[in-house]
Amino acid sequence: MNIQSLVEEFIKINDGDVEDIQVFFAPGRVNLIGEHTDYNGGFVLPCSLQVGTYLVVRPTIETMLKFKSMNFPMTAEVCQNQAAQPIGNEWINYPLGVVNEFHNRKLPVPGMELLYAGDIPNGAGLSSSASIEVVTAYAINSLMQLGLTNFEIIKISQLAENEFVGMQCGIMDQFAVTMGKKDHVVFLDCETLDYELVPLQLGDYKIVISNTNKKRALADSKYNERRSQCEKAVEILNEEMNINNLSDLGVDSFNKYKTKITDPVIRKRAKHVVNENQRVVDAVKALKKGELETFGRLMFESHESLKNDYEVSCEELDILVEEAKKVEGVLGSRMTGGGFGGCTVSLVHKHQIDEYKKNVGENYIHYTGLIPEFYIAEIGDGVKRIL
């Protein structure tokens, strides 16, 4: 992203000069393993990317917040001191939700002109929503010198999505976007928010993100339905034990009590969460030991569980994973993100990446008629001011 061009576009749209203009950046994220464990109080292993959301902002003496985007045509102007209402399914709901959370905390919000620009592929499941939320909260905190901690920025951003947008996401996305570090993964306990930045040492292997280019509609019933099913499983199991969430269970404990869950669908949902949580722990151990083949095997196992037990995959994601298995030099592959479309993440030897793109791409087009996109994941830092 050319920052100077972005600033020039901001001036063209809003008039005036460059005085008082500031630029902030929040990355997207990809989760290497640990899917749908975050809102179950479990472990996740995401990393922040070098693509993300840029925000050019200038405080004003007016009472209005003026939202514009280089990626979407929808614009809005709202009074900075008045609670707003969601606007359909528009992108503006993410920053509006953040502003609403500042109001809920009785924290001041200045009049502002805001221009957003993102280079995260739309609908790819790489957390563009959390990126927008975090960059907005971080910018307001900086402009008003409120002294909010990164943990407060994370919580404000998550609540914006939960309460304003209506998406009952866990805390992983906002945490990774805020706390990520270049060439590291974030090993996060979503219950306690204890975390460790683990160096990502992949040697001759690269992380390749493959976009199905299938339109996703994750903020609808399916995601929230899965969360409700997990809560039901906890309710049933608490007739025999005392747990706060499914991730309080080890694999052995779950296998001992799983027959208490008589609904086979709810039992499968719980099975995925418990086993996926253990896979994250095992994956971190493998990563620290340099056992990349073990790490890759766990990725494949994760996808099978998401496909068969949690049922959040789709034909397009499954084809990408199955075709990846056929390519020499691929250690592991799995869907990443909420599911029902979006991307897979794969561990591919650097000398096999061209073959991976060619073979997987051609076969994917043959089976689906869709044209996939491939990205080499470059791991970057979390949210920051850049100008």
Q: What is the pLDDT of residues 227-262, one digit of tens each?
A: 999 999 999 999 999 999 999 999 999 999 999 999
307 band by pLDDT with thresholds 50, 70 and 90? very high
Same domain (yes/no): 150, 215: no
Q: Please name every residue paired with 384 in a beta bridge, in sequence order, or none if there are none.
A: 25
Domain holding 319: CATH number? 3.30.70.890
Of 173, 282, 318, 354, the active-site residue reads 173
209 band by pLDDT with thresholds 50, 70 and 90? very high
How far apart (Å, rounded) are the C-alpha atoms in residues 40 and 242? 15
Provide, rounded to the nearest whole percent, the portion of the chain with pLDDT above 70. Answer: 98
Phi, psi of 50 (to 5 degrees): -90, -5
pLDDT of residue 218 exceeding 60, the answer is no
Q: What is the pLDDT of residue 223?
A: 82
- 3 state DSSP class of 50: strand
For residue 205, how many other CB atoms are within 10 A of its CB? Answer: 21
Q: What is the pLDDT of residue 59?
A: 95
Q: What is the pLDDT of residue 81?
A: 80
Q: What is the pLDDT of residue 321?
A: 98
Same domain (yes/no): 226, 336: yes
- 3 state DSSP class of 136: helix
Same domain (yes/no): 219, 158: no
Closest CA to 384 of 32, 48, 106, 120: 48
Domain holding 74: CATH number? 3.30.230.10
Q: What is the pLDDT of residue 233?
A: 98
Same domain (yes/no): 183, 217: no
pLDDT of residue 87 exceeding 70, the answer is yes
Structure tokens at 235: 């309710």
Same domain (yes/no): 271, 189: no
Quick one: average pLDDT of 196-203? Answer: 96
219 band by pLDDT with thresholds 50, 70 and 90? very low
Domain that holds residue 274: 205-376
- Cβ atoms of 207 and 30 within 8 Å: the answer is yes
Same domain (yes/no): 240, 277: yes
184-189/195-199 β-pairing: antiparallel
Q: What angle do CA 135, 139, 144 make, to 5 degrees?
A: 155
pTM for the full model?
A: 0.94
Structure tokens at 170: 């866990």
Q: pLDDT averaged over the chain?
A: 94
Is 381 designated active site?
A: no
Structure tokens at 1: 């992203």
Q: What is the pLDDT of residues 138-189, one digit of tens each?
A: 999 999 999 999 999 999 999 999 999 988 888 999 999 999 999 999 999 9
Same domain (yes/no): 283, 185: no
Q: What is the pLDDT of residues 316-328, one digit of tens each?
A: 999 999 999 999 9
| Structural domains in the chain (count) | 2
Q: What angle do CA 52, 376, 346 make, to 5 degrees?
A: 110
Same domain (yes/no): 258, 321: yes
Q: What angle do CA 85, 87, 88 make, to 5 degrees?
A: 130
- 3 state DSSP class of 20: coil
Quick one: average pLDDT of 266-271? Answer: 98
Same domain (yes/no): 180, 321: no
How far apart (Å, rounded) are the C-alpha atoms in residues 374 and 210? 5
111-118/64-69 β-pairing: parallel
For residue 147, how many other CB atoms are within 10 A of its CB? Answer: 7
343-349/384-385 β-pairing: unpaired
Separation in Å, CA 196 to CA 57, 126, 155, 176: 32, 21, 19, 11
Same domain (yes/no): 109, 245: no
Tell me the chain's radius of gyration from C-alpha atoms.
21
Range list of H helices, the chain:
3-14, 93-104, 128-144, 150-159, 172-179, 221-237, 251-257, 264-289, 292-308, 315-325, 353-368
Q: What is the pLDDT of residue 183?
A: 96
Q: What is the pLDDT of residues 36-50, one digit of tens each?
A: 999 999 999 999 999
80 band by pLDDT with thresholds 50, 70 and 90? confident
How far apart (Å, rounded) are the C-alpha atoms in residues 304 and 357? 22
Same domain (yes/no): 209, 194: no
Same domain (yes/no): 148, 232: no
